Amino acid sequence: MINSITRFRITVIALPGKAMFVVVPAAQAPDVRRLFEQHGIAHTEEPLPAHNGAAAQHVIHIADASDPRQVQAILDRAP
C-alpha cells in the first residue's frame, strides 16, 4: 500500500521490545483498518494532531502477537 501523501510504501515499524505500528494519512486510516480487520490483525489507533488540531496522520498500533513480516506482506499486496 502506498502512502497517498508521500507516495512511499507504508512500512511496518517494529521497535525492540514489542512496539509495532504504521503511520498513515488520516484519509487512509479507514482502508488500513479494514485491511487489518480482513486479515485478523488486532490493532488500535490514535490520531496525531496537526498544527491546526485536525488529525493529519494516524498511528495504527499492531498487536504484539502479529508477525511484522506478515503484516508488511499484507500491506505490500494491497492496492
Delimit the domains of the chain by residue range: 13-77
Residue pair 1/31 in contact (Cβ under 8 Å)? The answer is yes
pLDDT at 55: 67
Side by side, the strands of the sheet bearing 13-14 are 13-14, 20-25, 55-62, 43-49
Classify domain 13-77 by CATH architecture: 2-Layer Sandwich (3.30)
H or E element: which one contains 71? helix 68-77
**Reported pTM:** 0.88
> Residue 5 pLDDT > 70, yes or no?
yes
| Predicted pLDDT at 54 | 66
pLDDT of residue 9: 96
The 10s digit of each residue's pLDDT in 17-75 is 778 999 999 999 999 999 999 999 999 999 988 777 666 899 999 998 899 999 999 99
